[in-house]
Amino acid sequence: MRHVYSSSPASALTADLLVVLVPVGGVAGAIAALDDAQHYNGALAQVLVDDEFTGKAGQSASVPGLGRVAAKRVLLVGVGAGSDTEVARAAGTAGNEARKRGAKHIGLALGAVSDAATRGALEALAEGNYRFDKYKAEASRKAPMDTVTLLGAGDDPRAVALAEAGIAGQILARDLVNEQPAECYPESLARAAENLANDRITVEVWDEVKIKAKGMGGITGVGQGSARPARFVHAIYQPAGPAKAHVALIGKGVTFDSGGLSLKPNDGMLTMRCDMAGAAAVIGTLKALAAIQPNVRVDVIFGAVENMPSGTSYKLGDILKMYNGKTVEVHNTDAEGRLVLADCLTYASQLKPDAIIDLATLTGAAVIALGDWYSALYTRSDELNGQLQTAATGAHEAVWRMPLPDLYKDKLKADWGDLKNVGGRAAGSITAALFLSEFVTCDKWAHVDIAGPAFMDAPLMHYVAGGTGTMVRTLTRWIERLGE
């Protein structure tokens, strides 16, 4: 995808779709250059009156070019008061509409916005334009956009470069989440990370033999029921100069979750290719960082497994010895992600980073609490919470801090092991986070349960159903700021 700036009048841009963002109370000004005597001659204003278009956030209206302007079609999208988030969501709407029409060249008239808003708009435009259609009949596919011309915006190439990095990382994450389970399995997910290796990124992959030999009982236990062997991945991004910070990103990499012997029902299993969305997000972030090159050392870590029922599956009542030596009594084989993450958290803690973030589609309880848009954030560090909240706001994503009280730790007490892997139905997302806390020795640690926004069962805002690549842009902005 190519992004270019242009100082040409909007009416003169030859494009498949000309997008004009319109604030409330600013309709006349936004369309003045298109609706003068040489172009629509007042007809555009009348169309908007007839459609009751006022520029409110979420509104849109379109008209054909008809030779009155150079673009084939003009799309006006409301941005309300014009906040950065409203601008981004309007751009996302435009991206969605562009894909429906198969528009390849988009002209985007943002108006007077900041470089940060430009970056967010370009990212959202790509989010709305995204489709995973590789298995669709070719005749039914609509072409993605390939060129975006920015009109009337600033001309800072850094804003475009940052947007392009975030877009590429998020698309990679979405493609990995949306891929069918027959093609996305532990070895192929590990390869997705290996493919990013370059002079700044090294990638080490352990096979199932080494995982077991190293004492990673969680990854070994969950993965042993599948014909697809488990993998453990440790990638390192090392900046060219001295690192200003050192962080570790961990993702849950369950490439398919049947529930194991605690088998899920059909409907609950249907979309479980998405259970590696945490690993996909950290892989996507790694791709973005390779382009941005912040002055931060970043360790990307994930265990990749399939959770399958078979004669070799781990069983209810099994006691797993984890990488840090603690034992976990298995009360539900469908609470598998925390077992995989636990070994990864211990490994990351031994690297002694300044901060650790783990991402996981961990609990349905997080979805019940916060719905499809908010990720549940658990941390005891007010500083880290503030940093992630700021980054999420800038990325137009949503995280909500949840409590992490020691009061509920008793729910995890086991009869034969040190811990059990579930704490009961009540406060399920909290007890899952408390379980993970038993395997972390880094003071600045955050667990982000992305079970809601990682995969949309139905379209929401400018996202189509499927994987969203959530948190790629939040993590990228957080790490950028650490490297400044």
Torsion sign across C-alpha atoms 7, 11, 15, 17: positive
Phi, psi (5° rounding) for residue 327?
Answer: -110, 140
- Which residues share a beta bridge with 297? 246
In this prediction, residue 167 carries a pLDDT of 98
**128-163 tens-digit pLDDT:** 999 999 999 999 999 999 999 999 766 778 899 999
In this prediction, residue 153 carries a pLDDT of 63
Asked if residues 174 and 466 have their Cβ atoms less than 8 Å apart, the reply is yes
Q: Which residues neighbour 76 within 8 Å (Cβ) at sequence distance 6 or greater?
A: 19, 20, 21, 22, 30, 31, 48, 53, 60, 61, 62
- What span, in angstroms and rounded, lies between the C-alpha atoms of 396 and 101? 26
Token representation of residue 310? 């078979």
Would you kindly state where each structural domain of the chain is located, as residue ranges? 2-154, 166-482
Judged by DSSP in three states, 218 sits in helix
Phi, psi (5° rounding) for residue 229?
Answer: -70, 155
Distance, CA of 407 to chain centre: 32
In this prediction, residue 154 carries a pLDDT of 65
- What span, in angstroms and rounded, lies between the C-alpha atoms of 466 and 421? 29
Asked if residues 365 and 429 have their Cβ atoms less than 8 Å apart, the reply is yes
Torsion sign across C-alpha atoms 401, 405, 411, 416: positive
- What span, in angstroms and rounded, lies between the C-alpha atoms of 212 and 59? 56
Write out the DSSP string of 147-210.
Answer: EEEEESS---HHHHHHHHHHHHHHHHHHHHHHS-TTT-SHHHHHHHHHTT-SSSEEEEEE-HHH
Judged by DSSP in three states, 70 sits in coil
Token representation of residue 378? 């658990």
CATH class of 2-154: alpha beta
In this prediction, residue 305 carries a pLDDT of 98
Judged by DSSP in three states, 290 sits in helix
What CATH number does the domain located at 166-482 have? 3.40.630.10
Token representation of residue 395? 């990325």
Which DSSP category does 145 fall into? P
Write out the DSSP string of 78-129.
Answer: E-TT--HHHHHHHHHHHHHHHHHHT--EEEEE--S--HHHHHHHHHHHHHHH
Q: Which residues are identified as catalytic?
A: 264, 338
Query: Distance from first CA to last CA of the chain, Å, rounded?
Result: 28
Asked if residues 419 and 329 have their Cβ atoms less than 8 Å apart, the reply is yes
Q: What is the mean pLDDT of each run of 10 residues along the chain (484 residues)?
A: 89 95 92 91 93 93 93 96 95 97 95 90 97 95 95 79 97 98 98 97 98 98 98 97 97 98 96 97 98 97 98 98 98 98 98 98 97 97 98 97 96 96 96 98 98 96 96 98 96
In this prediction, residue 336 carries a pLDDT of 98
Asked if residues 346 and 368 have their Cβ atoms less than 8 Å apart, the reply is no
Measuring CA to CA, which residue among 110, 83, 255, 236 is closest to residue 180? 255
- What span, in angstroms and rounded, lies between the C-alpha atoms of 102 and 68? 21
**93-115 tens-digit pLDDT:** 999 999 999 999 999 998 888 89
**Rg of the Cα atoms in the chain:** 24
Asked if residues 39 and 48 have their Cβ atoms less than 8 Å apart, the reply is no
Phi, psi (5° rounding) for residue 173?
Answer: -60, -45
Asked if residues 79 and 446 have their Cβ atoms less than 8 Å apart, the reply is no
Judged by DSSP in three states, 76 sits in strand
- Which residues share a beta bridge with 17? 106
Judged by DSSP in three states, 14 sits in coil
Measuring CA to CA, which residue among 132, 133, 108, 106 is closest to residue 120? 108
Measuring CA to CA, which residue among 20, 12, 109 is closest to residue 70? 12
Q: How many CB atoms lie within 10 A of CB 269?
A: 14
